[in-house]
Amino acid sequence: MITTLLVVFAVLLVIGTPIAIAMAGSAILLIWVDGIPLTVVAQRVVAGVQSFPLLAIPLFILAGSLMNESGISERLFGFTRALVGHIRGGLAHTAIVGNVFLAGISGSSVADTAATTRVFVPQLQNAGYPKAFGAAVSATAGTLGPIIPPSILMVVYAWQANISLGALFVAGVLPGLVMAASMMTAIAILARVHGFRPDGEFSLANVWLQFKRALWALMMPVLILVGFRMGLFTATEIAGVAAAYALIVGFLIYRSLSLRDLPRILVQTARETAVILFIVAAATPFSWILGIEQAPQLVVEFVSSISTNPWVVLLILNVALLLAGMVMETLAIMIILVPILLPLLTSLDIDLVHFGIILLVNLVLGQLTPPVGVLLFVVMAMTGLKLTALIKELWPLLIAVLLALLFITYVPGLSLWLPRVLGF
Amino acid sequence: MRAFLRRLDDAAARGEEIFLAAALGLLTVLVVAAVVFRYALHDPLTWSEEFIVLLFGWAIMIGTAYAFHQRNHIVIDVILLFAPRWLRIVLGTLSTIATFVVLAVLVWFGWQYTMREFPNLTPMLGISAAWSILPLTIGCALSMLHVLRRLLDDGPQSALWVEMISRKTDE
Protein backbone atom coordinates (compact mmCIF):
# COMPACT_ATOMS: atom_id res chain seq x y z
CA MET A 1 0.00 0.00 0.00
CA ILE A 2 2.87 2.34 0.77
CA THR A 3 4.31 1.53 -2.64
CA THR A 4 1.01 2.32 -4.36
CA LEU A 5 0.76 5.60 -2.47
CA LEU A 6 4.26 6.66 -3.45
CA VAL A 7 3.84 5.56 -7.07
CA VAL A 8 0.59 7.51 -7.48
CA PHE A 9 2.20 10.51 -5.80
CA ALA A 10 5.24 10.30 -8.10
CA VAL A 11 3.11 9.98 -11.23
CA LEU A 12 1.01 13.00 -10.25
CA LEU A 13 4.18 15.01 -9.62
CA VAL A 14 5.78 14.04 -12.90
CA ILE A 15 2.79 15.11 -14.97
CA GLY A 16 2.99 18.53 -13.32
CA THR A 17 0.28 18.44 -10.65
CA PRO A 18 0.97 20.92 -7.83
CA ILE A 19 2.73 19.14 -4.92
CA ALA A 20 -0.12 19.73 -2.48
CA ILE A 21 -2.70 18.32 -4.90
CA ALA A 22 -0.46 15.33 -5.65
CA MET A 23 -0.23 14.55 -1.91
CA ALA A 24 -3.93 14.96 -1.24
CA GLY A 25 -4.81 13.14 -4.47
CA SER A 26 -2.73 10.04 -3.76
CA ALA A 27 -4.08 9.94 -0.19
CA ILE A 28 -7.68 10.29 -1.43
CA LEU A 29 -7.23 7.46 -3.92
CA LEU A 30 -5.87 5.05 -1.31
CA ILE A 31 -8.42 5.94 1.33
CA TRP A 32 -11.19 5.49 -1.23
CA VAL A 33 -9.84 2.10 -2.38
CA ASP A 34 -9.66 1.03 1.26
CA GLY A 35 -13.30 1.90 1.79
CA ILE A 36 -12.62 4.47 4.52
CA PRO A 37 -15.08 7.43 4.42
CA LEU A 38 -13.48 10.35 2.58
CA THR A 39 -14.55 12.88 5.21
CA VAL A 40 -11.39 11.63 6.96
CA VAL A 41 -9.38 13.48 4.30
CA ALA A 42 -11.30 16.69 4.91
CA GLN A 43 -10.81 16.26 8.64
CA ARG A 44 -7.05 15.76 8.29
CA VAL A 45 -6.61 18.70 5.92
CA VAL A 46 -8.53 21.06 8.21
CA ALA A 47 -6.62 19.83 11.28
CA GLY A 48 -3.41 20.41 9.34
CA VAL A 49 -3.93 24.16 9.06
CA GLN A 50 -5.39 24.89 12.47
CA SER A 51 -2.24 25.76 14.28
CA PHE A 52 -1.18 28.78 16.25
CA PRO A 53 2.59 27.98 16.04
CA LEU A 54 2.47 27.95 12.21
CA LEU A 55 1.15 31.50 12.24
CA ALA A 56 4.79 32.45 12.84
CA ILE A 57 5.35 31.69 9.14
CA PRO A 58 3.37 34.58 7.59
CA LEU A 59 4.52 36.93 10.33
CA PHE A 60 8.21 36.19 9.70
CA ILE A 61 7.65 36.41 5.93
CA LEU A 62 5.89 39.74 6.47
CA ALA A 63 8.71 41.07 8.64
CA GLY A 64 11.24 40.02 5.99
CA SER A 65 9.29 41.55 3.08
CA LEU A 66 8.73 44.83 4.92
CA MET A 67 12.42 45.10 5.74
CA ASN A 68 13.34 44.10 2.20
CA GLU A 69 10.98 46.66 0.64
CA SER A 70 12.35 49.40 2.85
CA GLY A 71 15.74 48.92 1.23
CA ILE A 72 17.65 47.24 4.04
CA SER A 73 19.53 44.87 1.73
CA GLU A 74 21.30 47.87 0.19
CA ARG A 75 22.17 49.17 3.70
CA LEU A 76 23.38 45.76 4.89
CA PHE A 77 25.52 45.27 1.80
CA GLY A 78 26.93 48.78 2.28
CA PHE A 79 27.97 47.84 5.80
CA THR A 80 29.52 44.51 4.84
CA ARG A 81 31.31 46.09 1.89
CA ALA A 82 32.96 48.47 4.32
CA LEU A 83 33.91 45.47 6.46
CA VAL A 84 35.30 42.98 3.94
CA GLY A 85 35.48 44.84 0.60
CA HIS A 86 39.20 45.46 0.93
CA ILE A 87 40.03 41.72 0.89
CA ARG A 88 41.07 40.17 -2.43
CA GLY A 89 37.83 39.26 -4.21
CA GLY A 90 36.15 41.65 -1.79
CA LEU A 91 32.92 42.12 -3.68
CA ALA A 92 32.22 38.38 -3.63
CA HIS A 93 33.03 38.24 0.09
CA THR A 94 30.64 41.15 0.59
CA ALA A 95 27.83 39.09 -0.95
CA ILE A 96 28.46 36.25 1.50
CA VAL A 97 28.82 38.34 4.67
CA GLY A 98 25.88 40.50 3.57
CA ASN A 99 23.78 37.35 3.38
CA VAL A 100 24.73 36.40 6.94
CA PHE A 101 22.98 39.60 8.04
CA LEU A 102 20.21 39.34 5.45
CA ALA A 103 19.51 35.79 6.68
CA GLY A 104 19.04 37.28 10.13
CA ILE A 105 16.06 39.21 8.82
CA SER A 106 14.51 37.01 6.19
CA GLY A 107 13.90 33.31 6.56
CA SER A 108 13.84 32.29 2.94
CA SER A 109 16.69 31.32 0.64
CA VAL A 110 14.74 32.26 -2.49
CA ALA A 111 14.11 35.83 -1.33
CA ASP A 112 17.74 36.25 -0.25
CA THR A 113 19.14 34.86 -3.48
CA ALA A 114 16.88 37.14 -5.52
CA ALA A 115 17.94 40.20 -3.50
CA THR A 116 21.62 39.29 -3.78
CA THR A 117 21.47 38.55 -7.50
CA ARG A 118 19.74 41.87 -8.17
CA VAL A 119 22.43 43.82 -6.32
CA PHE A 120 25.60 41.84 -6.96
CA VAL A 121 25.57 40.31 -10.40
CA PRO A 122 25.67 43.74 -12.13
CA GLN A 123 28.23 45.06 -9.60
CA LEU A 124 30.47 42.02 -9.93
CA GLN A 125 30.22 42.21 -13.72
CA ASN A 126 31.23 45.89 -13.71
CA ALA A 127 34.19 45.01 -11.51
CA GLY A 128 35.33 42.49 -14.13
CA TYR A 129 34.16 39.22 -12.58
CA PRO A 130 32.53 36.69 -14.94
CA LYS A 131 28.72 36.97 -14.85
CA ALA A 132 28.33 33.26 -14.06
CA PHE A 133 30.63 33.65 -11.06
CA GLY A 134 28.46 36.41 -9.64
CA ALA A 135 25.37 34.29 -10.20
CA ALA A 136 26.98 31.26 -8.54
CA VAL A 137 28.04 33.33 -5.52
CA SER A 138 24.54 34.82 -5.17
CA ALA A 139 22.86 31.40 -5.30
CA THR A 140 25.31 29.95 -2.77
CA ALA A 141 25.03 32.92 -0.42
CA GLY A 142 21.24 32.53 -0.40
CA THR A 143 21.51 29.10 1.25
CA LEU A 144 22.30 30.87 4.54
CA GLY A 145 18.72 32.20 4.71
CA PRO A 146 17.02 29.16 6.29
CA ILE A 147 20.02 28.25 8.49
CA ILE A 148 20.53 31.58 10.26
CA PRO A 149 17.40 32.55 12.24
CA PRO A 150 14.65 33.46 11.62
CA SER A 151 13.80 30.61 9.29
CA ILE A 152 10.50 29.50 7.80
CA LEU A 153 11.68 25.91 7.41
CA MET A 154 12.71 25.86 11.09
CA VAL A 155 9.19 26.89 12.10
CA VAL A 156 7.81 23.90 10.20
CA TYR A 157 10.44 21.48 11.55
CA ALA A 158 10.06 22.60 15.18
CA TRP A 159 6.31 22.13 14.81
CA GLN A 160 6.76 18.65 13.31
CA ALA A 161 9.38 17.44 15.79
CA ASN A 162 7.68 19.17 18.72
CA ILE A 163 10.87 20.89 19.89
CA SER A 164 11.54 24.47 21.03
CA LEU A 165 11.72 26.85 18.08
CA GLY A 166 13.94 29.18 20.13
CA ALA A 167 16.51 26.42 20.69
CA LEU A 168 16.43 25.52 16.98
CA PHE A 169 16.86 29.16 15.94
CA VAL A 170 19.86 29.62 18.22
CA ALA A 171 21.29 26.28 17.11
CA GLY A 172 21.42 27.55 13.53
CA VAL A 173 23.70 30.52 14.26
CA LEU A 174 27.11 28.81 14.45
CA PRO A 175 26.47 26.32 11.61
CA GLY A 176 25.40 29.30 9.47
CA LEU A 177 28.66 31.06 10.28
CA VAL A 178 30.63 27.90 9.50
CA MET A 179 28.91 27.70 6.11
CA ALA A 180 29.72 31.35 5.43
CA ALA A 181 33.37 30.82 6.46
CA SER A 182 33.57 27.79 4.20
CA MET A 183 32.15 29.74 1.25
CA MET A 184 34.59 32.59 1.90
CA THR A 185 37.50 30.17 1.97
CA ALA A 186 36.47 28.86 -1.44
CA ILE A 187 36.15 32.43 -2.74
CA ALA A 188 39.56 33.33 -1.34
CA ILE A 189 41.12 30.41 -3.19
CA LEU A 190 39.24 31.25 -6.40
CA ALA A 191 40.27 34.89 -6.05
CA ARG A 192 43.95 33.85 -5.99
CA VAL A 193 43.51 31.51 -8.96
CA HIS A 194 41.64 34.05 -11.07
CA GLY A 195 43.52 37.10 -9.77
CA PHE A 196 40.44 38.97 -8.52
CA ARG A 197 41.12 42.42 -7.10
CA PRO A 198 40.21 43.92 -3.73
CA ASP A 199 37.37 46.42 -3.74
CA GLY A 200 38.33 49.72 -2.11
CA GLU A 201 40.34 50.57 0.99
CA PHE A 202 39.47 49.71 4.55
CA SER A 203 38.57 52.65 6.76
CA LEU A 204 37.22 52.47 10.29
CA ALA A 205 35.32 55.72 9.79
CA ASN A 206 33.48 54.21 6.84
CA VAL A 207 32.67 51.04 8.79
CA TRP A 208 31.17 53.17 11.56
CA LEU A 209 29.20 55.29 9.09
CA GLN A 210 27.79 52.24 7.30
CA PHE A 211 27.12 50.52 10.62
CA LYS A 212 24.96 53.44 11.71
CA ARG A 213 23.05 53.31 8.41
CA ALA A 214 22.34 49.60 8.86
CA LEU A 215 21.83 49.63 12.64
CA TRP A 216 18.03 49.27 12.68
CA ALA A 217 18.18 46.35 10.30
CA LEU A 218 20.97 44.70 12.29
CA MET A 219 18.91 45.02 15.46
CA MET A 220 16.10 42.80 14.23
CA PRO A 221 17.78 39.39 14.66
CA VAL A 222 18.98 40.57 18.09
CA LEU A 223 15.41 41.47 19.00
CA ILE A 224 14.18 38.03 17.90
CA LEU A 225 16.81 36.10 19.84
CA VAL A 226 16.45 38.23 22.96
CA GLY A 227 12.69 37.76 22.73
CA PHE A 228 13.15 34.00 22.76
CA ARG A 229 15.75 34.09 25.52
CA MET A 230 13.58 36.16 27.83
CA GLY A 231 10.78 33.65 27.31
CA LEU A 232 8.23 36.47 27.45
CA PHE A 233 6.62 35.64 24.14
CA THR A 234 5.61 32.57 22.21
CA ALA A 235 7.35 32.06 18.87
CA THR A 236 4.31 33.38 17.03
CA GLU A 237 4.25 36.49 19.20
CA ILE A 238 7.94 37.11 18.55
CA ALA A 239 7.22 36.90 14.83
CA GLY A 240 4.38 39.38 15.30
CA VAL A 241 6.62 41.76 17.23
CA ALA A 242 9.27 41.41 14.50
CA ALA A 243 6.67 42.34 11.87
CA ALA A 244 5.59 45.35 13.95
CA TYR A 245 9.25 46.35 14.34
CA ALA A 246 9.81 46.08 10.58
CA LEU A 247 6.71 48.19 10.01
CA ILE A 248 7.97 50.90 12.36
CA VAL A 249 11.46 50.87 10.83
CA GLY A 250 10.12 50.98 7.28
CA PHE A 251 7.49 53.68 7.84
CA LEU A 252 8.86 55.89 10.59
CA ILE A 253 12.64 55.51 10.66
CA TYR A 254 13.82 54.79 7.12
CA ARG A 255 10.63 56.33 5.70
CA SER A 256 11.06 54.32 2.53
CA LEU A 257 7.71 52.51 2.73
CA SER A 258 4.44 54.19 1.98
CA LEU A 259 0.99 53.16 3.10
CA ARG A 260 0.13 52.41 -0.51
CA ASP A 261 2.68 49.56 -0.58
CA LEU A 262 1.13 47.81 2.39
CA PRO A 263 -1.83 45.97 0.77
CA ARG A 264 0.42 44.59 -1.96
CA ILE A 265 2.98 43.33 0.59
CA LEU A 266 0.23 41.79 2.72
CA VAL A 267 -1.38 39.99 -0.24
CA GLN A 268 1.98 38.71 -1.46
CA THR A 269 2.85 37.46 2.04
CA ALA A 270 -0.52 35.73 2.40
CA ARG A 271 -0.09 34.08 -0.99
CA GLU A 272 3.42 32.81 -0.20
CA THR A 273 2.16 31.51 3.15
CA ALA A 274 -0.78 29.74 1.54
CA VAL A 275 1.50 27.99 -0.96
CA ILE A 276 3.55 26.63 1.97
CA LEU A 277 0.68 25.79 4.28
CA PHE A 278 -1.54 24.23 1.63
CA ILE A 279 1.28 21.71 1.20
CA VAL A 280 1.48 21.24 4.98
CA ALA A 281 -2.29 20.73 5.16
CA ALA A 282 -2.51 18.43 2.14
CA ALA A 283 0.35 16.35 3.54
CA THR A 284 -1.54 15.44 6.72
CA PRO A 285 -3.78 12.73 5.16
CA PHE A 286 -0.72 11.53 3.23
CA SER A 287 1.37 11.21 6.41
CA TRP A 288 -1.61 9.67 8.19
CA ILE A 289 -1.62 6.80 5.70
CA LEU A 290 2.15 6.39 5.97
CA GLY A 291 1.65 6.26 9.74
CA ILE A 292 -1.08 3.61 9.78
CA GLU A 293 0.91 1.60 7.26
CA GLN A 294 3.81 1.68 9.73
CA ALA A 295 6.25 3.38 7.36
CA PRO A 296 8.28 4.77 10.30
CA GLN A 297 8.78 1.29 11.75
CA LEU A 298 9.83 -0.04 8.34
CA VAL A 299 12.43 2.71 8.10
CA VAL A 300 13.74 1.92 11.60
CA GLU A 301 14.01 -1.79 10.72
CA PHE A 302 15.61 -1.13 7.37
CA VAL A 303 18.22 1.31 8.66
CA SER A 304 18.96 -0.78 11.77
CA SER A 305 19.64 -3.75 9.52
CA ILE A 306 22.47 -1.74 7.97
CA SER A 307 23.85 -0.15 11.13
CA THR A 308 22.87 1.02 14.59
CA ASN A 309 25.84 3.34 14.94
CA PRO A 310 24.44 6.91 15.02
CA TRP A 311 27.44 8.21 13.03
CA VAL A 312 26.91 5.70 10.24
CA VAL A 313 23.16 6.32 10.27
CA LEU A 314 23.76 10.07 9.98
CA LEU A 315 25.99 9.43 6.99
CA ILE A 316 23.27 7.28 5.38
CA LEU A 317 20.67 9.98 6.10
CA ASN A 318 22.94 12.67 4.65
CA VAL A 319 23.39 10.76 1.41
CA ALA A 320 19.66 9.97 1.21
CA LEU A 321 18.68 13.58 1.91
CA LEU A 322 21.17 14.92 -0.64
CA LEU A 323 19.79 12.58 -3.30
CA ALA A 324 16.23 13.51 -2.36
CA GLY A 325 17.19 17.19 -2.48
CA MET A 326 18.48 16.82 -6.01
CA VAL A 327 15.16 15.65 -7.40
CA MET A 328 12.51 16.90 -4.96
CA GLU A 329 11.25 20.20 -3.70
CA THR A 330 12.58 21.23 -0.26
CA LEU A 331 9.40 21.61 1.75
CA ALA A 332 7.87 18.42 0.33
CA ILE A 333 10.89 16.38 1.45
CA MET A 334 10.66 17.80 4.93
CA ILE A 335 6.93 17.30 5.25
CA ILE A 336 7.08 13.69 4.09
CA LEU A 337 10.32 12.54 5.71
CA VAL A 338 10.39 14.14 9.16
CA PRO A 339 7.42 12.19 10.61
CA ILE A 340 8.88 8.99 9.15
CA LEU A 341 12.37 9.61 10.51
CA LEU A 342 11.49 10.79 14.04
CA PRO A 343 11.16 7.27 15.58
CA LEU A 344 14.51 6.28 14.04
CA LEU A 345 16.24 9.35 15.47
CA THR A 346 14.75 8.83 18.92
CA SER A 347 15.71 5.16 18.96
CA LEU A 348 19.33 6.08 18.23
CA ASP A 349 19.42 9.01 20.68
CA ILE A 350 20.20 11.50 17.91
CA ASP A 351 19.42 14.99 19.18
CA LEU A 352 16.39 16.39 17.33
CA VAL A 353 17.75 19.94 17.35
CA HIS A 354 21.07 18.79 15.91
CA PHE A 355 19.29 16.67 13.30
CA GLY A 356 17.10 19.64 12.40
CA ILE A 357 20.19 21.64 11.49
CA ILE A 358 21.67 18.73 9.51
CA LEU A 359 18.36 18.32 7.69
CA LEU A 360 18.14 22.01 6.82
CA VAL A 361 21.71 22.22 5.52
CA ASN A 362 21.02 19.17 3.36
CA LEU A 363 17.84 20.73 2.06
CA VAL A 364 19.40 24.06 1.15
CA LEU A 365 22.22 22.18 -0.53
CA GLY A 366 19.51 20.41 -2.51
CA GLN A 367 18.24 23.82 -3.63
CA LEU A 368 21.68 24.41 -5.10
CA THR A 369 22.06 21.16 -7.00
CA PRO A 370 20.60 20.29 -10.41
CA PRO A 371 18.24 19.12 -11.77
CA VAL A 372 15.70 20.47 -9.22
CA GLY A 373 17.42 23.39 -7.52
CA VAL A 374 15.18 26.35 -6.89
CA LEU A 375 18.10 28.73 -6.24
CA LEU A 376 19.67 27.79 -9.57
CA PHE A 377 16.36 28.53 -11.29
CA VAL A 378 16.13 31.90 -9.58
CA VAL A 379 19.56 33.07 -10.72
CA MET A 380 19.14 31.54 -14.17
CA ALA A 381 15.82 33.33 -14.60
CA MET A 382 17.27 36.63 -13.39
CA THR A 383 20.52 36.53 -15.36
CA GLY A 384 19.53 34.52 -18.42
CA LEU A 385 22.48 32.17 -17.86
CA LYS A 386 22.43 28.54 -18.95
CA LEU A 387 22.73 25.77 -16.37
CA THR A 388 26.03 24.49 -17.79
CA ALA A 389 27.68 27.92 -17.58
CA LEU A 390 26.46 28.32 -14.02
CA ILE A 391 27.63 24.87 -12.88
CA LYS A 392 31.13 25.61 -14.17
CA GLU A 393 31.45 28.43 -11.63
CA LEU A 394 29.31 26.82 -8.96
CA TRP A 395 31.04 23.51 -8.20
CA PRO A 396 33.85 24.86 -5.95
CA LEU A 397 31.22 26.63 -3.83
CA LEU A 398 29.08 23.49 -3.73
CA ILE A 399 32.05 21.53 -2.41
CA ALA A 400 32.58 24.22 0.22
CA VAL A 401 29.00 23.88 1.47
CA LEU A 402 29.28 20.09 1.37
CA LEU A 403 32.40 20.22 3.58
CA ALA A 404 30.57 22.53 5.97
CA LEU A 405 27.72 19.96 6.04
CA LEU A 406 30.12 17.17 7.05
CA PHE A 407 31.57 19.38 9.76
CA ILE A 408 28.10 20.30 11.05
CA THR A 409 27.02 16.64 11.00
CA TYR A 410 29.99 15.27 12.93
CA VAL A 411 30.51 18.11 15.40
CA PRO A 412 27.16 18.16 17.23
CA GLY A 413 28.53 20.79 19.62
CA LEU A 414 28.51 23.29 16.77
CA SER A 415 24.73 23.20 16.83
CA LEU A 416 24.14 22.34 20.48
CA TRP A 417 26.69 24.41 22.36
CA LEU A 418 25.12 27.84 21.87
CA PRO A 419 21.56 26.85 22.85
CA ARG A 420 23.00 25.17 25.97
CA VAL A 421 25.13 28.15 26.99
CA LEU A 422 22.24 30.55 26.44
CA GLY A 423 19.97 28.32 28.51
CA PHE A 424 17.43 27.09 25.95
CA MET B 1 -20.47 32.32 -21.05
CA ARG B 2 -16.74 32.75 -21.29
CA ALA B 3 -17.02 36.48 -20.68
CA PHE B 4 -19.18 35.83 -17.63
CA LEU B 5 -16.66 33.32 -16.28
CA ARG B 6 -13.86 35.83 -16.76
CA ARG B 7 -15.78 38.56 -14.94
CA LEU B 8 -16.66 36.18 -12.12
CA ASP B 9 -13.04 35.05 -11.86
CA ASP B 10 -11.70 38.61 -11.82
CA ALA B 11 -14.20 39.60 -9.16
CA ALA B 12 -13.31 36.57 -7.05
CA ALA B 13 -9.59 37.32 -7.30
CA ARG B 14 -10.17 40.95 -6.36
CA GLY B 15 -12.26 39.88 -3.38
CA GLU B 16 -9.55 37.44 -2.33
CA GLU B 17 -6.91 40.16 -2.46
CA ILE B 18 -8.98 42.41 -0.23
CA PHE B 19 -9.73 39.58 2.18
CA LEU B 20 -6.10 38.46 2.37
CA ALA B 21 -4.72 41.95 3.02
CA ALA B 22 -7.35 42.59 5.70
CA ALA B 23 -6.98 39.15 7.32
CA LEU B 24 -3.19 39.24 7.53
CA GLY B 25 -3.25 42.81 8.77
CA LEU B 26 -5.77 41.89 11.44
CA LEU B 27 -3.83 38.75 12.43
CA THR B 28 -0.66 40.78 12.94
CA VAL B 29 -2.51 43.37 15.02
CA LEU B 30 -4.21 40.70 17.14
CA VAL B 31 -0.98 38.81 17.84
CA VAL B 32 0.77 42.02 18.92
CA ALA B 33 -2.31 43.15 20.85
CA ALA B 34 -2.35 39.84 22.76
CA VAL B 35 1.18 40.61 23.96
CA VAL B 36 0.31 44.16 24.93
CA PHE B 37 -2.81 43.11 26.82
CA ARG B 38 -0.96 40.38 28.68
CA TYR B 39 2.06 42.39 29.79
CA ALA B 40 1.07 46.03 29.73
CA LEU B 41 -2.55 45.76 30.77
CA HIS B 42 -2.36 42.45 32.71
CA ASP B 43 -5.59 41.42 31.07
CA PRO B 44 -5.03 38.52 28.67
CA LEU B 45 -7.35 38.35 25.66
CA THR B 46 -8.80 34.91 26.26
CA TRP B 47 -10.82 34.73 23.07
CA SER B 48 -8.02 35.95 20.82
CA GLU B 49 -6.13 32.71 20.18
CA GLU B 50 -9.21 30.83 19.05
CA PHE B 51 -10.27 33.66 16.77
CA ILE B 52 -6.72 33.99 15.41
CA VAL B 53 -6.55 30.29 14.50
CA LEU B 54 -9.98 30.52 12.84
CA LEU B 55 -9.02 33.57 10.79
CA PHE B 56 -5.65 32.02 9.92
CA GLY B 57 -7.44 28.94 8.55
CA TRP B 58 -9.54 31.18 6.31
CA ALA B 59 -6.49 33.12 5.16
CA ILE B 60 -4.69 29.90 4.20
CA MET B 61 -7.56 28.53 2.13
CA ILE B 62 -8.45 31.83 0.44
CA GLY B 63 -4.71 32.30 -0.17
CA THR B 64 -4.61 28.84 -1.72
CA ALA B 65 -7.35 29.86 -4.15
CA TYR B 66 -5.53 33.11 -4.93
CA ALA B 67 -2.30 31.17 -5.55
CA PHE B 68 -4.19 29.08 -8.15
CA HIS B 69 -5.28 32.33 -9.78
CA GLN B 70 -1.66 33.51 -9.84
CA ARG B 71 -0.43 30.02 -10.77
CA ASN B 72 2.00 30.08 -7.87
CA HIS B 73 1.58 26.57 -6.51
CA ILE B 74 4.79 24.61 -6.50
CA VAL B 75 5.12 22.18 -9.37
CA ILE B 76 8.05 19.86 -10.11
CA ASP B 77 8.88 21.12 -13.56
CA VAL B 78 12.06 19.33 -14.68
CA ILE B 79 10.19 17.26 -17.22
CA LEU B 80 7.89 20.06 -18.27
CA LEU B 81 10.89 22.27 -18.99
CA PHE B 82 12.42 19.88 -21.46
CA ALA B 83 9.23 18.42 -22.90
CA PRO B 84 8.15 19.30 -26.45
CA ARG B 85 4.96 21.33 -26.79
CA TRP B 86 2.67 18.39 -27.60
CA LEU B 87 3.83 16.52 -24.49
CA ARG B 88 3.31 19.60 -22.34
CA ILE B 89 -0.26 19.77 -23.62
CA VAL B 90 -0.84 16.07 -22.83
CA LEU B 91 0.69 16.32 -19.34
CA GLY B 92 -1.06 19.62 -18.70
CA THR B 93 -4.42 18.09 -19.60
CA LEU B 94 -3.83 15.15 -17.25
CA SER B 95 -2.62 17.27 -14.35
CA THR B 96 -5.45 19.77 -14.77
CA ILE B 97 -8.00 16.94 -14.66
CA ALA B 98 -6.30 15.44 -11.59
CA THR B 99 -6.29 18.83 -9.87
CA PHE B 100 -9.95 19.33 -10.68
CA VAL B 101 -10.94 15.95 -9.29
CA VAL B 102 -8.95 16.42 -6.07
CA LEU B 103 -10.39 19.90 -5.51
CA ALA B 104 -13.91 18.60 -6.20
CA VAL B 105 -13.46 15.80 -3.65
CA LEU B 106 -12.24 18.32 -1.08
CA VAL B 107 -15.19 20.64 -1.80
CA TRP B 108 -17.74 17.84 -1.46
CA PHE B 109 -16.38 16.07 1.60
CA GLY B 110 -15.35 19.37 3.16
CA TRP B 111 -18.99 20.42 2.88
CA GLN B 112 -20.25 17.17 4.45
CA TYR B 113 -17.79 17.59 7.30
CA THR B 114 -18.91 21.21 7.72
CA MET B 115 -22.55 20.13 7.98
CA ARG B 116 -21.69 17.41 10.47
CA GLU B 117 -19.86 19.86 12.74
CA PHE B 118 -22.58 22.49 12.41
CA PRO B 119 -24.31 21.78 15.78
CA ASN B 120 -21.04 21.78 17.77
CA LEU B 121 -19.91 24.99 19.42
CA THR B 122 -16.33 26.20 19.90
CA PRO B 123 -15.12 26.45 23.53
CA MET B 124 -14.17 30.16 23.77
CA LEU B 125 -16.14 32.04 21.14
CA GLY B 126 -19.23 29.85 21.36
CA ILE B 127 -19.83 29.92 17.62
CA SER B 128 -20.47 26.89 15.42
CA ALA B 129 -17.40 24.74 14.80
CA ALA B 130 -18.47 24.68 11.14
CA TRP B 131 -16.90 28.13 10.75
CA SER B 132 -13.41 26.68 10.97
CA ILE B 133 -14.15 23.92 8.43
CA LEU B 134 -16.05 25.97 5.86
CA PRO B 135 -12.88 27.61 4.43
CA LEU B 136 -11.80 24.23 3.00
CA THR B 137 -14.94 24.06 0.85
CA ILE B 138 -14.94 27.74 -0.09
CA GLY B 139 -11.20 27.84 -0.82
CA CYS B 140 -11.24 24.72 -2.98
CA ALA B 141 -14.38 25.88 -4.84
CA LEU B 142 -12.72 29.21 -5.64
CA SER B 143 -9.59 27.29 -6.68
CA MET B 144 -11.69 25.30 -9.18
CA LEU B 145 -13.06 28.54 -10.61
CA HIS B 146 -9.53 29.92 -11.07
CA VAL B 147 -8.21 26.72 -12.66
CA LEU B 148 -11.17 26.66 -15.04
CA ARG B 149 -10.58 30.24 -16.13
CA ARG B 150 -6.86 29.60 -16.69
CA LEU B 151 -7.74 26.49 -18.66
CA LEU B 152 -10.05 28.46 -20.95
CA ASP B 153 -7.73 31.42 -21.34
CA ASP B 154 -4.29 29.80 -21.47
CA GLY B 155 -4.95 26.19 -22.47
CA PRO B 156 -4.08 22.96 -20.65
CA GLN B 157 -0.30 23.44 -21.03
CA SER B 158 -0.35 26.45 -18.73
CA ALA B 159 -3.51 26.18 -16.63
CA LEU B 160 -1.49 25.29 -13.51
CA TRP B 161 1.94 26.70 -14.16
CA VAL B 162 3.55 29.49 -16.13
CA GLU B 163 6.74 29.17 -18.12
CA MET B 164 9.75 28.93 -15.83
CA ILE B 165 11.40 32.25 -16.62
CA SER B 166 8.39 34.42 -15.94
CA ARG B 167 7.39 32.49 -12.84
CA LYS B 168 10.72 32.61 -11.06
CA THR B 169 11.30 36.29 -11.65
CA ASP B 170 7.98 36.94 -9.99
CA GLU B 171 9.62 36.26 -6.60
Average pLDDT of the residues in A52-66: 93
Q: Note the Cα A339 to chain centre separation in Å.
A: 19
**Residue B31 to residue A239, Cβ atoms within 8 A:** yes
**Residue B28 to residue A62, Cβ atoms within 8 A:** yes
Average pLDDT of the residues in B66-83: 86
Q: At B128, give phi and psi (nearest 5°).
A: -65, 140
Q: At A53, give phi and psi (nearest 5°).
A: -55, -35
Q: Does B76 reach chain A within 8 Å, measured CB to CB?
A: yes
Q: At B121, give phi and psi (nearest 5°).
A: -110, 150
Question: What residues are paired with B128 via a beta bridge?
Answer: B121
Locate the chain A residue with the closest alpha carbon to B132: A46
pLDDT tens for A265-319 read 999 999 999 999 999 999 999 999 998 889 999 999 999 899 989 999 999 999 9
* pLDDT for B166: 41
Average pLDDT of the residues in A349-377: 92
Peptide bond into A221 cis (omega under 30): no
Picking from B70, B105, B133, the nearest residue to A46 by CB comes out as B133
ipTM above 0.90, yes or no: yes
Q: Does B24 reach chain A within 8 Å, measured CB to CB?
A: yes
H or E element that contains A124:
helix A109-126
* pLDDT for A10: 92
**Set of chain B residues whose Cβ sits within 8 Å of the Cβ of A331:** 74
* pLDDT for A255: 87
How many angstroms separate the first and last alpha carbons of chain A?
41
pLDDT tens for A165-220 read 999 999 999 999 999 999 999 999 999 998 888 888 889 999 999 999 999 989 98
Of A131-140, A229-238, B25-34, the range with the lowest mean pLDDT is: A229-238
Most confident segment among A97-111, A120-134, A344-358, B38-52: A344-358
* pLDDT for A242: 92
* pLDDT for B171: 35
Distance CA B171, CA A118 (A): 12
Confidence grade of residue B36 (pLDDT, cut at 50, 70, 90): confident
pLDDT tens for A307-358 read 989 999 999 999 999 999 988 889 999 999 999 999 999 999 999 999 999 9
* pLDDT for B169: 38
* pLDDT for B163: 60
**pTM of the model as a whole:** 0.92
